[in-house]
Amino acid sequence: MTEPRAGAPCVELHDVTVAYGRRPVVWNVDLTIDSACLFGIIGPNGAGKSTLVKAALGLVPLVGGEVTFFGRPLSQVRSRVGYVPQRESVDWDFPVNVTDVVLMGTYGRLGWFRRPGDRERRLARECLDRVGLADVATRQIGKLSGGQQQRVFLARALAQQADVYFLDEPMAGVDVRSQERIFRVLDELKAEGRLVVVVHHDLRTAAEWFDRVALVDRRLVASGSTAETLTPDNLRQTYAGHIDVLDDVGRAIAARERTP
Amino acid sequence: MTWGDLSHNTLVVAVGVAAVGFASGVVGSLCVLRKRALAGDAAAHATLVGVAGAFLVTGRRDLVTLLVGAVVAACAGLGVLVLVRRLTRTRDDAATAIVIGVSFGAGIALISGLPAWGYPGSAGLEQFLLGHTAALTRHDAMLLAMIAVGAIAVVAAILKEATLVAFDESFASATGWPVWVIDAIVVGLVAVMVVVGLPAVGAVLVTALVVIPPVAARLWTDRVGTLVVVSGVIGLVAAVSGVAVSASQSRLATGPLVVLTASMLFAVSLVIGPRRGVVARRLAGLQRSDRRGLVDEPGGHDA
């Protein structure tokens, strides 16, 4: 899983606008990410962060603009793009076990009608090992904790063996131990030369975790390295009306600067 | 009639009905996992218009003609359902209720209007309302069985894809699967099974044979593959025993008997099913008190 990446990870959003019905949700977003890193998409609730990611993945239609991966449209490079949807988006009562879900990450490469074989099962086991869930491989997914469920989704994405990953609120409703494990895996992915894009709403941890961030509030407020982007001024623009969170962030950033 | 009197014809019909029951359970699994049970109901109620329409247009009432009419009507009903939902932003349940009401009303109106158009009685078409296998010929039963086997083969072929879409539509879509194609295949299979079940179970109750078996099977297993097979077996047992009882008491319509048998199997599963049956849950509840504290908070959260 550590072979050299072909070409730098690159996602380009050009003038992206998304609307639900006639109500625009995100507009005129220009964003280029061209190196392996942990990239946070940060903003208040309802800012359109998830929508932006779904639009990039073709899950909601663009009203305007264009998205390219490695300079090509998504349809040509699907197998290089991994996805972790929000945990709440599925029914955890569904009659599948942990391994079944992780194997779904291999379906894209398998294509129509071919069933997962030994190779896929081995890969699924490795991915489960990586997220620390090898011991619940045969458990029905509803019998897991929230953090374990999130790690199952992460393992499924690992099984996609992609070069760019999108994760939608992977730390939401997740216990601290799972958060640490997830973060460690994301860090490993970065070290392997992959790009990891994370939708995240907690400003305090954002300052700690991400190399680069984009601040989004229906439009792109600012983007760049975390230290340069999470400035009081940018945050005020992004979180107008959510001022209470800013003090926390100020403290978190200050703490980070003290311990480089 | 006793079991000793079973003629060759009765046996063939029984085999046909068994295949239809099994296939209904198998196809129903995909339908229920995808949470499309109501779509099956809409298709089923629409079939009556097709049966009556096919008879009025062709003047023939052999099974093939009537069932072709039923398939066309079932697909039209599903098409209208999709259109109503898309174009008028009516919610799913309301749109389904509209399709069921309108198509069923039209079907009943057509059938009850037959005498007025010079046909004696309702030309036997009312049998499609509640099901009646006595009139089924050996040839008909073989045809139904063959279609049922075909439907099972399609499910076997697309089980992986259909499971993926049913579990996580957005992941399926993000990884390049054409969700609407897979959905169309599943709904198409349901329409076919509803039509194939029509002679035995009737338009009013045929969805029950598609929906009850998988719901009962879910109480026995936590795996899709097993669920499909168990559901098929429950459908088979329900269909065969319903038809057998109705054959021995020929004044009883088959459909209600089939559905009552299926419901009984569901009730049994509810009590003794090892996965979340009442008994199993009690036992799990006793064990859980030992495990408490080991599992972290499931925890909810805003989007």
Question: What is residue A137's DSSP assignment?
Answer: T
pLDDT digits (tens, 9 = 90+) for A56-110: 999 999 999 999 999 999 999 999 999 999 999 999 999 999 999 999 999 999 9
Residue A4 lies in a domain: no
Please tell me the least confidently modeled range out of B12-16, B42-46, B262-266: B12-16
Extract the runs of DSSP E, i.e. beta strands, from chain A: 11-20, 23-33, 38-42, 62-69, 81-84, 164-168, 195-200, 212-216, 220-225
Disruptive mutation site among B161, B182, B215, B222 for chain A (greatest number of A CBs within 10 Å) = B222
Q: What domain range includes position A253?
A: 11-258
Identify the band that residue B282 occupies on the pLDDT scale cut at 50, 70 and 90. confident
Show which residues on chain A lie within 8 Å of chain B, measured between beta carbons. Answer: 45, 50, 54, 57-59, 75, 78-79, 81, 83, 85-86, 88-91, 94-97, 100-101, 104, 107-108, 110, 112-113, 115, 140, 145-147, 156, 160, 169, 172-175, 177-178
Residue B298: CB atoms within 10 Å: 17
Average pLDDT over residues B80-91: 85
**Mean pLDDT value of segment B185-194:** 94
Q: Is residue B106 part of a domain?
A: yes
Question: Do the domain assignments include residue A38?
Answer: yes
**Phi then psi for A85, rounded to 5 degrees?**
-70, 170
What is the rounded CA–CA span in Å between residue A88 and residue A92? 9
Cβ of A88 within 8 Å of Cβ of B176? The answer is no
Residue A43 within any structural domain of the chain: yes
pLDDT, tens digit (0-9, with 9 covering 90-100), for B102-131: 999 999 999 888 888 877 766 678 888 888
- Is residue B302 within 8 Å of A45, Cβ to Cβ? yes
* Short-list A38, A33, A37, CA closest to A10: A33
Range(s) of the domain holding residue B135: 3-291
CATH number where B184 lies: 1.10.3470.10
In a domain, A6, yes or no: no
Share of chain A above pLDDT 90, in %: 77
Name the domain count of chain B.
Answer: 1
Q: List residues in chain B touching A: CB distance below 8 A.
A: 33, 157-158, 160-161, 163-164, 166-168, 170-171, 173-177, 218, 221-224, 227, 275, 295-303
- Tell me: the pLDDT tens digits for B93-103? 899 999 999 99
CATH of the domain at A79: 3.40.50.300
Residue A2 belongs to some domain of the structure = no
State the average pLDDT over residues A116-142: 97
CA B234, B240, B242, B244 dihedral sign is negative
User: Number of structural domains, chain A?
Assistant: 1
Let me know if residue A1 belongs to a domain. Answer: no
Mean per-residue pLDDT of chain B: 87
B228 assigned to some structural domain: yes
The confidence band for B213, taking pLDDT boundaries of 50, 70 and 90, is very high
Q: Testing the interface with A: which of B154, B163, B168 to mutate, by most A Cβ within 10 A?
A: B168
How many other C-beta atoms can be found within 10 angstroms of the C-beta atom of residue A131? 23
Domain membership of residue A220 (yes or no) is yes
The count of other CB atoms within 10 Å of the CB of residue A175 is: 18
- CA–chain centroid gap for A10, Å, is 15
